[in-house]
Structure 1
Amino acid sequence: MCPLNAVAQNYLDKATAISKKKIELFCKQNDIPGMAISISYSGKFILSEGVGFADLEKKIKVNPSSTKFRIASVTKIITALTLMKLNELDSLNIDNSIHFYLDNLPHDKYNFSLRQLAGHLSGLKRNPSKERWDSYNTYSEDDLYQSLKDDDLDSKPGVQFSYSNYGYKVLGLIIEKKCHKTIVECQEEYILNKLNMTNTIPDTGLFSPDITNFYLKKNGLIQQAPYMDCKLKYAQGCHLSTSEDLIHLGNLFFQPNLVFNNIRPLQIMTKQQVLFSGSKTGYGLGIISTKDMYGNSFLGHNGLENGSRAILRVYPKYNLVISILINNQEPPLEDLITEIAYTYIEDLKKIKKD
């Protein structure tokens, strides 16, 4: 990347100063224990900082390059990218029925493609019955197959958008079958290692000084969030990452050759799915593809898990990537990231004019 001229740098510096004030106010108003935020423009970091603490008791500060947060459903981008790489390698075909890969499922009940599954159009409910979201989770692959036999669909495939962690569990099984490795190993081999995302790892519950504590607010008091067992959750979520690693992930959409032979897999992945009614869903394959309240098109994902929230957005028209991670379950981050993006985009428009 060529160095920015003085005028352009001045605009970006102003946007950064305004954004820092927004971040500080947001954290103060919402009692956020710790936040990591990173922003890149044209592949270069223009802001990356930690706010507050990864550990309130020990007063360990957040570091955006090393402090790992739960990224929750932002993981779905990684899983969908893995799926698209296997599709590019002809190891699978996203337009095949799941029966092509999992032949022991009821055929009449589960007649949808991998494309529909990755785009939440399968009709599967949000989460399978009997699965737990705490330290007592013993949910296994056998339990998943039993749930698939017992559970009803929320709708017929292709009729409505129905966000489904359930569906990503099934995708994980298919990826493992075609990759001949665990879903975590597949994600690492095809995506994470290629993007040098060395700080993105599965959440195993093991302690590390680089992993933030996670907090909840209960009765007005901040307390540590309970441990969550991540069995059979690594395709849908349950990864840890840094805000800077997520910037590497976002910048793949400007440098597809880091993973793919050409741009086509990302074009397929980011194209909005369409219901049988003709309505667009605002979602591609494992990624949100829509516009924010200011009319700016973006790609990305949100995430929510015990004691954490995560958000990643890519603004293709402006070569802008923003990631925000907090170690608290509340509040949502959509409004904050939209306002920060708007601040930069308005100044980037001025740079183009000048």
Structure 2
Amino acid sequence: MPYTSIRTSLQRQCLGLCFVIFSTLSHAQPAGYQAAIDSARSLVERMIAFNDIPGLAVSVSVAGKMVWSEGFGYADLEQQVPVRPDRTRFRIGSVSKPLTAAALGKLYDEGKVMLDTPIQVYVPAFPEKRWPVSLRLLAGHLSGIRHYRGTEFLSNVRYNSVSEGLSLISSDSLLFEPGQQYAYSSYGWNLISAAIEGACGQEFLSYMQQAVFSPLGMGLTTADYTDSLIAFRTRYYEKTEGGAIINAPCVDNSYKWAGGGFLSTTEDLLRFGQAHIHPGFLSDTTLNLWLRPMKTTSGEPTNYGMGWAVQLDGTGKKWFGHSGGSIGGITQLLVYPEDEVVVAMLTNSGQVDYGDTHYRIAHLFMGTPIPHQPLDEAALEPYPGDYLLDGDTPARVSMENGWLFYSRRGGLPILLAPAKDGSFAPLSGNTIHQFRHRPEGGLEMVIEVPGRAIRITGVKQ
């Protein structure tokens, strides 16, 4: 189906005003958080302007109470339907994985699944491979099951059952011996959903409703059926190379319900995140196991548990969460368990750079500022400038009010929090940045991934 342009350049100029006019609040905001809300709103508006996002919802909870929930822009640009965080349903992409992991956790609590037995115990029809594959390895992206290939991400084929979707990978060989490498795979979750069916004796989507969505009050979370009318479902948008916003291509996510096929709202995702801070929905044993980062057989950390990314952020605080990319939607779900802060953000554009917006929002609601080492701005002055990473990737370091910011390929700048050893780290905690003087002269920025043999060097231009 050809893309259809949906607005003119004049409409583009008006969109910023519409964000102000149609910004919607679903609940009164607690007065004690007003300063955090004002600062967070500014961060969101900055992100919207940078990406030209048609519609966005954000919700935040602290200690189990929602303290901010707001919609920006439109769920439907043509009909000018404003986003409402309490009901607008967005594609959540790979945030579907933690949802599916929760269903697996319920079965584990009930003693209906074992994590290390061959998957054929639950899915007898799945062909045996060169090495056995288990639920633990599948949930941790250590199984060797492949990810998308070619244009599969754009599939518009209807699959009527989990087993039909599983046919995409059933005849494929494993990429490596399970456990040896971390290799992200949405298709591995197809196999998990088939195992859930085998263990519980009912259809996967039915069990998700019974075991996860209904108990947690996630009344607007559902599969993204393309053959049904779904109330409050947003339209999906993308941008052309020239920057025009257009309707996203039609896709059918029935081939990957478990790994990337659900719709939800930010407020439903808040409920889901809150349920993983304390035992209750899942047992203490299961919750700790699901949120424990795995390692490869060689001991290399993966920063990923059972369906959740888990690690320390750039200030040393533990977080777990997941991002989700889909055709016409980018999602972030972030949980800081020690501070009991949950942030959920959803957009209806498939091309969005969040930068560190969700992390900075979380820190605003923690009530404690990001640690700021007493650095002399004069000492930082050599660092800002343009860099080339590994000789060909452009990056930039800038300074604002005594803080360093980093951007790559013209992306949204992210804050670099200083550490006592003189290094810097983004709030995600994914990398460590160090600035060094080169023996041959000039300055270089060395970027490393903690615990992993990944190192990128950028030379200042």
TM above 0.5 = yes
From the superposition, tell whether residues 131 and 28 of structure 1 become closer, same or farther in structure 2 (CA, over 3 Å): closer
Q: 2:110 aligns with which of 80, 89, 96?
A: 89
1:113 CA drift (Å):
1.6
Equivalent in the alignment of 2:261? 238
Q: 2:249 aligns with which of 226, 233, 241?
A: 226
Equivalent in the alignment of 2:236? 214
Q: Aligned letter for 2:257?
A: Y
Give the superposed CA RMSD.
Answer: 2.2
Paired residue secondary structure (1:170): helix
Paired residue secondary structure (2:72): strand
From the superposition, tell whether residues 28 and 177 of structure 1 become closer, same or farther in structure 2 (CA, over 3 Å): same
Paired residue secondary structure (1:194): coil
From the superposition, tell whether residues 77 and 299 of structure 1 become closer, same or farther in structure 2 (CA, over 3 Å): same
Q: 1:273 aligns with which of 294, 319, 329?
A: 294
Highest RCO, 1 vs 2 (Cα 8 Å, sep ≥ 6): 1
Q: Write out aligned runs for 1:58-137 (5 A).
A: 58-127=79-148, 131=152, 133-136=154-157
From the superposition, tell whether residues 344 and 230 of structure 1 become closer, same or farther in structure 2 (CA, over 3 Å): same
Q: How many residues align?
A: 339
1:55 CA drift (Å):
0.8
Runs of at least 5 residues in structure 1 that lack an aligned partner in the other structure: 1-8
Equivalent in the alignment of 1:148? 170
From the superposition, tell whether residues 75 and 108 of structure 1 become closer, same or farther in structure 2 (CA, over 3 Å): closer
Paired residue secondary structure (1:304): strand
Paired residue secondary structure (2:255): coil
Separation in structure 2 between the aligned mates of residue 201 and residue 142 of structure 1, nearest angstrom: 19
Q: 1:53 aligns with which of 44, 66, 74?
A: 74
After TM superposition, the score normalised by the length of structure 2 is 0.69
1:83-134 CA-partner distances (Å, limit 9, x unpaired): 1111111111112221322334444524122111111110111137895633
Paired residue secondary structure (2:253): coil
Contact kept, 8 Å, 1:128 with 1:166, in 2: the verdict is: no
* Greater helix proportion: 1
Separation in structure 2 between the aligned mates of residue 327 and residue 90 of structure 1, nearest angstrom: 39
1:254-299 CA-partner distances (Å, limit 9, x unpaired): 3431x23x31111110000111111211000011111233332111
Contact kept, 8 Å, 2:136 with 2:306, in 1: the verdict is: yes
Q: Aligned letter for 1:12?
A: Y
1:309-332 CA-partner distances (Å, limit 9, x unpaired): 011011011110000000001223
Equivalent in the alignment of 2:320? 299
1:153-189 CA-partner distances (Å, limit 9, x unpaired): 2221001111111110011111111122221111111
Q: Write out aligned runs for 1:170-185 (5 A).
A: 170-185=191-206
From the superposition, tell whether residues 12 and 111 of structure 1 become closer, same or farther in structure 2 (CA, over 3 Å): same
1:138 CA drift (Å):
5.2
1:215-235 CA-partner distances (Å, limit 9, x unpaired): 000131101112211223111
Task: Give % identity.
Answer: 32
Contact kept, 8 Å, 1:129 with 1:147, in 2: the verdict is: no
Paired residue secondary structure (1:268): helix
Equivalent in the alignment of 1:169? 190
From the superposition, tell whether residues 105 and 213 of structure 1 become closer, same or farther in structure 2 (CA, over 3 Å): closer
After TM superposition, the score normalised by the length of structure 1 is 0.89
